[in-house]
Amino acid sequence: MFRFQDPIFLLFIPVAFGLLVYYFKFKKAKAASIRYSDINLVRRLKPSLRLKERHILPVLRALAIVFLAFALARPQSGRKGQEISSEGIDIMLVLDISGSMRAEDFKPHNRLYVAKQVIKEFIQGRHSDRIGLVVFSKQSFTQCPLTLDYGVLFNFLDQVDFGMIEDGTAIGLAIANAVNRLRESDAKSKVVILLSDGRNNAGEIDPITAAQAAKAMGVKIYTIGAGKPGNAPYPVDDPIFGRRYIYIENEIDEPTLKQIAQITGGEYFRAKDEKALARIYKQISQMEQTKIKVKEYLQYNELFSNYALVGLLLLVVEIVLANTRYRKIP
Q: Within this chain, do residues 285 and 143 fall inside the same structural domain, yes or no?
A: yes
pLDDT at 311 over 80: yes
State the angle between helix axes of 207-216 and 254-264 in degrees (0 to 180), rounded to the nearest 10.
10
Q: Within this chain, do residues 179 and 148 fall inside the same structural domain, yes or no?
A: yes
Q: How far apart are CA 112 and CA 167, in angstroms?
A: 14
Q: What is the pLDDT of residue 81?
A: 64
State the angle between helix axes of 150-158 and 111-124 in degrees (0 to 180), rounded to the nearest 10.
180
Nearest to 285 by CA among 131, 169, 154: 131
Segment 65-91 shows an average pLDDT of 79
Q: Within this chain, do residues 98 and 180 fall inside the same structural domain, yes or no?
A: yes
Nearest to 69 by CA among 19, 12, 8: 12
In a domain, 330, yes or no: no
Q: Within this chain, do residues 68 and 97 fall inside the same structural domain, yes or no?
A: no
pLDDT at 36 over 70: no
CA angle 23, 30, 42 (to 5 degrees): 120
pLDDT at 111 over 60: yes
In a domain, 311, yes or no: yes
- What total of structural domains would you count in the chain? 2
In a domain, 328, yes or no: no
Render pLDDT for 7-27 as a digit per residue (tens, 0 to 9): 898 898 898 888 888 877 776
Segment 298-327 shows an average pLDDT of 84
Q: Within this chain, do residues 238 and 148 fall inside the same structural domain, yes or no?
A: yes
Q: Within this chain, do residues 97 and 246 fall inside the same structural domain, yes or no?
A: yes
Q: What is the pLDDT of residue 239?
A: 78
Average model confidence (pLDDT) across the chain: 86
Name the most confidently modeled range: 65-69, 94-98, 241-245.
94-98
In a domain, 329, yes or no: no
Q: Within this chain, do residues 17 and 150 fall inside the same structural domain, yes or no?
A: no
% of the chain residues with pLDDT over 70: 85
Q: pLDDT category, 31, cuts 50, 70, 90?
A: very low
Q: CA separation (Å) from 182 to 37, 93, 134?
A: 108, 11, 12
Q: Within this chain, do residues 128 and 162 fall inside the same structural domain, yes or no?
A: yes
CA angle 29, 30, 36 (to 5 degrees): 105
State the angle between helix axes of 254-264 and 171-182 in degrees (0 to 180), rounded to the nearest 10.
20
Q: pLDDT category, 131, cuts 50, 70, 90?
A: very high
**Lowest-confidence segment of 12-21, 29-38, 123-132, 174-183 by average pLDDT:** 29-38
Q: What is the pLDDT of residue 112?
A: 96
Q: pLDDT category, 241, cuts 50, 70, 90?
A: confident
Q: Within this chain, do residues 131 and 32 fall inside the same structural domain, yes or no?
A: no
Between 148 and 107, the more confident residue is 148
Q: Within this chain, do residues 268 and 231 fall inside the same structural domain, yes or no?
A: yes
In a domain, 327, yes or no: no
In a domain, 95, yes or no: yes
Q: Within this chain, do residues 39 and 143 fall inside the same structural domain, yes or no?
A: no
Render pLDDT for 255-264 as a digit per residue (tens, 0 to 9): 999 999 999 9
DSSP conformation class of 158 = H
In a domain, 105, yes or no: yes
Domain enclosing residue 159, as ranges: 89-289
Give the E-state strand segments of 214-310 in sequence order: 219-226, 231-238, 242-249, 268-271, 291-302
Segment 40-45 shows an average pLDDT of 57
Q: What is the pLDDT of residue 151?
A: 94
Chain Cα centroid distance, residue 191: 23
Render pLDDT for 153-211 as a digit per residue (tens, 0 to 9): 999 999 999 999 999 999 999 999 999 999 988 888 999 999 999 999 999 999 999 99
Q: Within this chain, do residues 132 and 35 fall inside the same structural domain, yes or no?
A: no
Read off the CATH number of the domain in which 175 is found.
3.40.50.410
pLDDT at 48 over 90: no
Q: What is the pLDDT of residue 113?
A: 96
In a domain, 37, yes or no: yes
